[in-house]
Amino acid sequence: MTTTMTPDIRPQTVSAEIPEVPLTTEGYSVLHQMMRFRWTAWRAVPEGTRSAITQEAASALGEMEQRSGGQSALFSLIGHKGDLMLVHFRNSFADLNQAELNLAGLRLSEYFEPTSSYLSIIELGLYDSTLKIYKELTAQGIPPHSDQWKAEIEGKLARHREAMHPRLFPEIPPHRYICFYPMDRRRGEEKNWYTLPLEERARQMHDHGLVGRRYAGEVKQIITGSIGFDDWEWGVDLFADDPLVFKKLIYEMRFDHVSAVYALFGQFYVGVRCPAAALGKLLSGEVPK
């Protein structure tokens, strides 16, 4: 009697480990421009010429404030790090570059001296969703990084982008004050954020987010990703009508584990909003209202 061998039809297991990189969704491209204003040279310009230059700039800034595909906003900086900060939200880096060129074409730009800038893109980190998605796909036997894996993830991210559209493509908040700073996650020395397991990073980021939510009615926060774009890994913009909330929020976050152990901070820039209509007052030496 002959024996027929039955082929092994057991499902194949996924041998690769779950990836450690959390998923993200991205929205507007963002550029911060910090500048000094050449006050001495400006005051030497005849009054009539100053008025014409101001009107030209105010008209251009007014149009940039009202753009439907990403706005711009001007702030009068407090302290020695600069006099002005322009914040631009746009659909692409090319559009950001066009905003730079448009400003450079204004006669007022002759009195600007750039001191710094920051390039980034609005980013939502999806730690909790990442773990859920990765586990679902591995349970289905889909190999990580395979074409099917990538297609499944892109489909899920597309749905998330649609649901989160208002957060990914927001208007610049109208609040009177801004606080901007870049930051990194520690890597090297005794602590390294990037060597922690994904589950642990997700847990810490969840707890970290709870602090910010307690200030939801007082401050608007926009996080941008800048890995590969600028010298730090993220940028943080805080908007509020009372600047004291910046101190309270950031101080409380210092005691949160993820900030206390892993956060590194760059320079802080704090400014007062200057609507385009108030540009003349600002250039006359008055605090914008």
Rounded Cα distance, 53 and 41, in Å: 13
Sign of CA dihedral 56, 57, 60, 62: negative
Q: Which of these, 105, 110, 153, 108, lies nearest to 133 by C-alpha position? A: 153
Residue 180 to residue 175: CA distance in whole angstroms:
14
Give residue for tokens 């993820």: 258
Active site annotation includes 194:
no
Q: What angle do CA 170, 58, 108 make, to 5 degrees?
A: 115
CA separation for the pair 268, 158 (Å, rounded): 34
Helix (H) or strand (E) holding 234: strand 234-240
Question: From the candidates 111, 127, 177, 181, which is the catalytic residue?
Answer: 181
Cα torsion for 94, 234, 125, 159, to the nearest 10°?
-10
Q: Give the Cβ contact number of residue 30 at 10 Å.
A: 26
Token representation of residue 286:
């008055």
Burial of 78 (C-beta count, 10 Å sphere; 0-12/13-18/19+): middle
80-119 burial by CB neighbour count: b if 16+ within 10 A, else e? Answer: ebbbbbbbbbbeeeebbeebbeebeebebeebbeebeebb
Max alpha carbon distance in the chain (Å)?
111
Q: What positions carry a catalytic annotation?
A: 181
